[in-house]
Amino acid sequence: MRPVRVAIVGATGLVGQTLLRILDERRFPVAELRLYASADSRGSDVVWRGQRCAIQTLEEGHGSAGAPLAGIDVAFFAAGAEVSRRHARTVAGAGAIVIDKSTAMRLEPDVPLIVPEINGELIGEKRLIANPNCATIPLALLLAPVAQAFGVKWASVSTYQSVSGAGRRALEELAEQSRGFGGAPAALPRRIAGNVFPENGAFDEAGHSDEEQKIAAELRKLLDLPELAVSATSVRVPVAIGHGEAVAFGTTVDASLDEIRSVLRGFSGIVFAEGTRYAAPADVAGTDDVVVGRLRRDNAHPRAYLCWVASDNLRKGAATNAVQIAEYALRVRATAAS
Amino acid sequence: MRPVRVAIVGATGLVGQTLLRILDERRFPVAELRLYASADSRGSDVVWRGQRCAIQTLEEGHGSAGAPLAGIDVAFFAAGAEVSRRHARTVAGAGAIVIDKSTAMRLEPDVPLIVPEINGELIGEKRLIANPNCATIPLALLLAPVAQAFGVKWASVSTYQSVSGAGRRALEELAEQSRGFGGAPAALPRRIAGNVFPENGAFDEAGHSDEEQKIAAELRKLLDLPELAVSATSVRVPVAIGHGEAVAFGTTVDASLDEIRSVLRGFSGIVFAEGTRYAAPADVAGTDDVVVGRLRRDNAHPRAYLCWVASDNLRKGAATNAVQIAEYALRVRATAAS
């Protein structure tokens, strides 16, 4: 692929740092790399592929044309919803492929929400593409082949979400509390070391947390099942990296355990762990594997199954998926141009 | 109440130690206290209510009649299923009230499985009484008033179980790993510090773990609903004390959120947290509260609800419930005698 000019907005955050690592690991064709962060990080720099790269703010980083990120071919936004809302459409309008890791535009009808193994074909000529939530990606990867083969009537998930999903300050808070230091919780709503809590974002009037709503709404969009019945309980656990999810789902038509296993084994987006095997967060941290294990009948409902899914929330749950989207979009353009 | 002669078998374990604390806190009428443990603890002693109490083994502790625990009025067994299977029926046969915390006889038809707030009336003149699993007690306390008022058609739970539920050696393993020490996991199947894993006991042929089977079978017996559809995913989390549970349940007849709230508020076995409030394990550790919070609709199913339950697994999940059973049994006898 022809090398492209790449920007990362939010380059000093956990996802931004993971993006840098994954662009390198996957030998992403980078002609030029521009890194942006908030004013707090101004003056710092990053060494990437042996080259020193200065961190700029978006304001000072305007191109010669005066527009943010002018001349950039691929821009990754990983700086939160507000920054994305302010800049992502402008940058895409100026011609760049924008992959937005924030929540800002995931549910907008004109913005495809993409997990390449599930619905990469929706990327087409789109220049603004949303990357789903870190808990939704593994859940959707598990359910997509089941939905395709047998239909999915409902899904219910209890999450075991690591602290890195709440960002660098939350991770520091866990580390400080684990060493016996740290005052009142600040980045997280409660003490997390030696504790778990079912609170991840604000609660709506019906009592669902922000994360629980995201999981339901994004899953419906990713699977293209607008009526899918979904419920979630999102829980933070004292793990640094790697999300676990206890998933229950019901199929529309009868399917034997062997038939479910067979479609899961054959789907490229997941690693299927046979029998009672499974992966824990510590097993998948640092990898791109979404491991589906402990598949068994859900005795609470007819035509229903239980399983356990684990994945690295910073990689396939965020940065790896974003880079895969960029690769897919560049391939589409290369094919169209040839 | 007339003071009674009390024995604790397994007095040096986590549940045994908690039993000692709770007998004191509740001013249980103890005329004499005899403590038993395995040969490893021989020679050690415990100070209880200012008195030194030697730890004996069951073998050396036979009474003058030659039978284990001869002369004891109330015996708490908290030394594992094997010890209970060997001695509990004999001791009860000799006239003692035996409260068995182990799994040995929970499902035996002639042994009542008791949570006093739910089914204390089944104690009657029984002398051998089983105490349920620590994850089942809070779940049953939540569902009992719902079952009574609206029927419960199905229940599904994902647990967040603390390490103390696996015993003292598991707790030491967590502490060592948290300090950066400790070799391969021994008391637990995986590393637990900074990790979670859905494995709690051996897996059966259908893929359910031992703990998951216990939760289902004991819940059916406690609620006297032998056909109740139940499923569970039991997960260990790096928390010292306090279990969390993400529970979903369906009612048999229509019930509004307000009606469910109302029966939960009115039930003496639980503390109902209003609105989106909830308790985390750190909030309930050291208390006898079973806190039900975050009650909301389960959008995955009709007539279904989600909530979050937290409780101290060593107290109401084990020792407090056992002492409450003993108090109940003694009251029955006192009433019958008067």
Active site residue B243: yes
pLDDT of residue A66: 59
Check which CATH number belongs to the domain holding A259 and give it.
3.30.360.10
- Looking at chain B, list the stretches that DSSP marks H as alpha helix, in order from N- to C-terminal side: 14-25, 81-93, 116-119, 136-150, 168-178, 210-223, 257-265, 281-284, 320-337
Q: Show the CA angle centred on residue A159, arms to residues B247 and A310, nearest 5°.
A: 135
Same domain membership, residue B257 and residue B174: yes
pLDDT of residue B182: 75
Q: Do residue B298 and residue A198 have CB atoms under 8 angstroms apart?
A: no
CB of A263 closer than 8 Å to CB of B264:
no
Rg of the Cα atoms in chain A: 20
Phi and psi torsions of A128, nearest 5°: -120, 115
Report which residue type is found at A266. Answer: G
Query: To the nearest whole angstrom, how far is the Cα of A212 from the nearest Cα of chain B?
Result: 11
Same domain membership, residue B193 and residue B69: no
Nearest CB to B194; choose among A231, A239, A301 = A239
Which chain A residue is nearest to residue B282, measuring alpha carbons?
Answer: A195
Same domain membership, residue A232 and residue A210: yes
Same domain membership, residue A154 and residue A274: yes
Same domain membership, residue A89 and residue A158: no
**pTM for this structure?**
0.97
CB of A103 closer than 8 Å to CB of A85:
no
**Of residues A297, A247, A194, the one with CA closest to residue B158:** A247
| Residue range(s) defining the domain that contains residue B40 | 4-132+318-337
Same domain membership, residue A189 and residue A61: no
Rg of the Cα atoms in chain B: 20
Residue B319: helix, strand or coil by DSSP?
helix
Chain A interface disruption, residue of B195, B208, B215, most A CBs within 10 A: B195
**Of residues A324, A314, A8, A39, the one with CA closest to residue A167:** A314
Which chain A residue is nearest to residue B163, measuring alpha carbons?
Answer: A194
pLDDT in tens, B296-335: 999 999 999 999 999 999 999 999 999 999 999 999 999 9
pLDDT in tens, B25-81: 999 999 999 999 999 888 889 999 999 999 999 886 555 555 678 999 999 999 999
Tokens 């004499």 correspond to: B32
Same domain membership, residue B254 and residue B145: yes
Cβ-in-10-Å burial (0-12, 13-18, 19+) of B287 comes to: middle
CA distance B313 to B18: 10
Same domain membership, residue B158 and residue B78: no
Q: Do residue A207 and residue B237 have CB atoms under 8 angstroms apart?
A: no
Same domain membership, residue A275 and residue A249: yes
Residue B51: helix, strand or coil by DSSP?
strand
pLDDT in tens, A241-250: 999 999 999 9
pLDDT of residue A58: 87
User: How many domains are there within chain B?
Assistant: 2
Same domain membership, residue A125 and residue A166: no
Q: Do residue B195 and residue A248 have CB atoms under 8 angstroms apart?
A: no
Residue A124: helix, strand or coil by DSSP?
coil
Q: What is the dihedral of CA A162, A165, A170, A174, to 10 degrees?
A: 10
Which pair of tokens denotes residue B315? 């107290």
Chain B interface disruption, residue of A197, A243, A278, most B CBs within 10 A: A197
Tokens 């707090």 correspond to: A40
Which pair of tokens denotes residue B177? 């790993």
Cross-strand pairs, B292: B272, B309
Is pLDDT at A224 greater than 80 in this prediction?
yes
Residue A40: helix, strand or coil by DSSP?
helix
**Of residues B156, A124, B213, the one with CA closest to residue B221:** B213
Same domain membership, residue A30 and residue A120: yes
Nearest CB to A195; choose among B196, B248, B281 = B281
Is pLDDT at A274 greater than 70 in this prediction?
yes
Same domain membership, residue B177 and residue B76: no
Catalytic residues of A: 134, 243
What average pLDDT does chain B have?
Answer: 95
Q: Is the dihedral of CA B310, B315, B316, B319 positive or negative?
A: positive
Check which CATH number belongs to the domain holding A107 and give it.
3.40.50.720
